[in-house]
Structure 1
Amino acid sequence: MGLFFKKRKVKPIFVGSYGNDLTRGIYVFHIDIDNGEILKKKFYKSLANPIAISKRERFIYVCYKNNTGRPTDGGLWQYASMDLQFGLAGKSTDHGKTYVDSYVNEDRTCAYAVDYYNSEVVVIPILKQKIVKVVQTIKHQGSSVDEKRQNEAHPCFIDATPDQKWIVVCDLGTDEIVLYDIGEKGRLQRNDELTFKVKPGSGPKKIIFSPDGQFAYVLSELTSEIHVYRYEDGVFTFVQTVKTYPTDEYIGQNTAGDILINEKGDYLFVSNCGHDSVTTFEVDLATGMLTAVDNTDTDEKPVSMILVIDKYIVVASQKGGSIESFEVRRGESKGVLFETHFSYMVSEPVCLIEGRGV
């Protein structure tokens, strides 16, 4: 930066973009942790659309949409990352299937992914730190009340429970939160006793847990709701349902975009596609219950969010074609989430992940 310039303290973030033949791929940005400024650093072009990004230590896992119909397209790709460097380590393309989310277990022996389009959950071993071919495929069955979006099963999100005892899958098509027992070599067995349904027509899109693992928050895309549950040893006990946006102020169509919670667990954030906003909820740490306290405008169709160093929320707005940062401020009388006035134009950004290091 030179003798007379202060060196920036930054955090890397990765952004997946649909875009076109010239702009489609993975972007690497730095976010200045002092003011929230977004700085473009590198671009990795891809032939397919990146749908979701997850990470485990130094590896980044990208789900790609099959754009060509070829059996080698789509699937889950694994990259080794270090700040700006992004190198292919392995890939698993199961006859060209498209996965929409993935999860890698803590000891990095298995990757799990969900196929929205073929109603499947898959298990992918990791050998010598690299993902290999699919060894187990589980088919979801069923439907629900929305004839257009729920005519069949659509598993769309996968993670582990906070105690690491079960794999949990949100199925938008069947209105189910499906729990899987983890067996030998990471193989899965559906646990029908612990699996449960949310309100018909909800379309559960994502589940997150409070930092202490006592509460679960299910985001329903179709009804723009958050369902709150107390969680203990695989059992979910219903607590509350709240809307994700102020329905008395907006009569247009809305779908829930993304959900996240801060490190302390006292604030929860949800993005709204249609209302084009992020709603902030205050969390009662004793009961898990939510109270809406703030609503902040975003660019069009904010589909994905991340929280960086527990201070900045970065929002990817697919239709608006931008990523923008907002600062979380505690104790402010006029709100919680504030514009930094920093953004960057990206063609159809759809997924985000925070990189390593500062």
Structure 2
Amino acid sequence: MKSSHLLTAAIALAACSSPKQETQVTTLPEPTPIRSYEFLVGTYTDSIHQGINHLYFSPAENLLTVETIAAGIANPSFVIATRDGKRVFSLEEESGVPGGQVLSFTRNPEDNSLTLIDQKESGGDHPCHISISPNEDYVILGNYTGGSLSIFKVSSEGKLEHAQTIKHKGKSINPERQEKPHVHSTTFDPEGKRVLVADLGTDKIYVYDFDPSKAQPLSLFEEFPVTPGDGPRHLTFSADGKEVLVVEEMAAVMDVFAYENGKMSPKQRLSLLSEGFEGKVGAAEIRLSPDGKQVYVSNRGDANTISVFGKNASGTYVLVQNISSGGLMPRNFNLTGDGKYLLSAHQASNDIVIFERDSITGKLTQTPWKAELYKPVYLFRLED
């Protein structure tokens, strides 16, 4: 027993006197988060089960889903949200008595559910476009058939208070489409000091001063006529804010105007049509890529295309690509925040098709991803 204790002590002493062994710890890199994208989708409806939808797209997971998050909203053809995604505004594109509606909701980002806060008459028939002020305290909408625009003050609780309705007057040369005013979009300029209103019926872009300190915040600054018969629909601004890019629905043209202190002047006019094209047209949406390098424009009718425009060294816009939109009637499309993908919503073929975008050239390549959805007509990108 005594020898056994001596042996144990010897082993313990040897262990204590052995050189210290350093353990190498390998630090594994943090896993790369899966990049995903979310959009609100406006639709035309034929059922109380339809309404506003939420789209989720995760390329790494090969996952594309669409779910209805606010059923029973009649023709919510345009839907937008605040920067934090927690307040949503939409329209009911209806006519008759009392006309269309504007709605405000709270959104729960955890499950994307919408809860109605308030609902007001839009001030005219068929409201088709809505925008939010830079401070997110006003919304402005355009009533297409009503030929008017209305502005509402938004309270901190999301309540809507009507502030002003302005009705346009006049017409243009097409007796079927331009027999009276048709306000198609209301867009704040980059500084938030003015609102540009595209009126398809009068062939004019109206520039309004916006002063939220006044009881009636909008006052007319200028009326800018476009080429008769063009039918201005939507517009966007260049990255530096010095150009207004307008899609002319009836002519299938992108017009480029210089913009300075609310004044517009023509710079360039580019067709959306491929050489030799014959058929009906219906140019619809125009968007600037997130990096500001390219402009994208959709065209419906018999064309069903998306046109890509870039700039050459002299600053002139040039056509880069005309590509099939992947469906019928591309009324709307949008790009992901990183500019890697473009989603095209097709009213007639009832689907949303996804394209991959080349970050250098801006060219699009259709992917296999497609979501089936009844009459999708607007895509709003939730902040990434």
TM over 0.5: yes
Structure 1 residues 209-224: aligned runs within 5 Å: 209-224=237-252
Cα distance change on mapping 1:235 and 1:340 into 2, 3 Å: same
* Alignment match of 1:56 (pick from 33, 58, 82): 82
Structure 1 unaligned runs (5+)?
A: 1-5
Structure 1 residues 64-143: aligned runs within 5 Å: 64-66=92-94, 69=96, 71=98, 74-83=100-109, 84-94=112-122, 97-143=125-171
Alignment partner of 1:207 is 2:247: no
Could you tell me how far apart the structure 1 residues matched to 2:62 and 2:248 are?
30
Q: Is the 8 A contact 2:124 2:148 kept in 1?
A: no
Q: TM-score, normalised by structure 1?
A: 0.89
Q: TM-score, normalised by structure 2?
A: 0.84
Q: Percent identity?
A: 23
Structure 2 unaligned runs (5+)?
A: 1-31
Shift of 1:127: 1.8
2:24 is matched with which residue?
A: none
Shift of 1:286: 5.7
Deviation digits for residues 233-261 of structure 1, max 9, x if unmatched? 11112111011121x24211111021111
Alignment partner of 1:320 is 2:320: no
Could you tell me how far apart the structure 1 residues matched to 2:145 and 2:124 are?
12
Cα distance change on mapping 1:131 and 1:197 into 2, 3 Å: farther
Alignment partner of 1:190 is 2:214: no
Could you tell me how far apart the structure 1 residues matched to 2:210 and 2:347 are?
35
2:175 is matched with which residue?
A: 147
Query: What SS is found at the alignment partner of 1:265?
Result: coil
Cα distance change on mapping 1:34 and 1:188 into 2, 3 Å: same
1:340 is matched with which residue?
A: 367
Deviation digits for residues 75-121 of structure 1, max 9, x if unmatched? 11112224323222222224774321111211222211111111111
Which letter maps to 2:147? S
1:311 is matched with which residue?
A: 340
Shift of 1:24: 2.4
Task: Please identify runs of 4+ aligned residues in structure 1 that moved more than 4 A.
Answer: 33-37, 94-97
Q: Is the 8 A contact 2:81 2:88 kept in 1?
A: yes
Q: Is the 8 A contact 1:92 1:131 kept in 2?
A: no
Q: Is the 8 A contact 2:196 2:206 kept in 1?
A: yes
* Alignment match of 2:189 (pick from 135, 149, 161): 161
Cα distance change on mapping 1:279 and 1:155 into 2, 3 Å: same
Q: Is the 8 A contact 1:11 1:32 kept in 2?
A: yes
* Alignment match of 1:30 (pick from 41, 56, 69): 56
Shift of 1:131: 3.5
2:71 is matched with which residue?
A: 45
Q: Is the 8 A contact 2:204 2:224 kept in 1?
A: yes
* Alignment match of 1:13 (pick from 39, 47, 64): 39
Aligned residues: 345
Which letter maps to 1:217? L
Cα distance change on mapping 1:339 and 1:98 into 2, 3 Å: same
CA RMSD of aligned residues (A): 2.3
Deviation digits for residues 117-140 of structure 1, max 9, x if unmatched? 111111211122424232211110
Q: Is the 8 A contact 1:36 1:326 kept in 2?
A: no
Structure number with higher relative contact order (C-alpha < 8 Å, ≥ 6 residues apart):
1
Higher alpha-carbon Rg: 2
Query: What SS is found at the alignment partner of 1:100?
Result: strand
1:330 is matched with which residue?
A: 359
Deviation digits for residues 305-339 of structure 1, max 9, x if unmatched? 1111211111100001101111111346xx81011
Cα distance change on mapping 1:130 and 1:283 into 2, 3 Å: same
* Alignment match of 1:300 (pick from 328, 339, 346): 328
Could you tell me how far apart the structure 1 residues matched to 2:289 and 2:70 are?
30
Cα distance change on mapping 1:36 and 1:204 into 2, 3 Å: farther
Which letter maps to 2:351? S
Could you tell me how far apart the structure 1 residues matched to 2:345 and 2:318 are?
24
Bigger proportion of residues as strand: 1
Q: Is the 8 A contact 1:124 1:136 kept in 2?
A: yes
Query: What SS is found at the alignment partner of 1:48?
Result: coil
Could you tell me how far apart the structure 2 residues matched to 1:239 and 1:96 are?
34
Is the deviation greater in 30-39 or in 273-282?
Answer: 30-39
Query: What SS is found at the alignment partner of 1:51?
Result: coil
Could you tell me how far apart the structure 1 residues matched to 2:282 and 2:137 are?
35
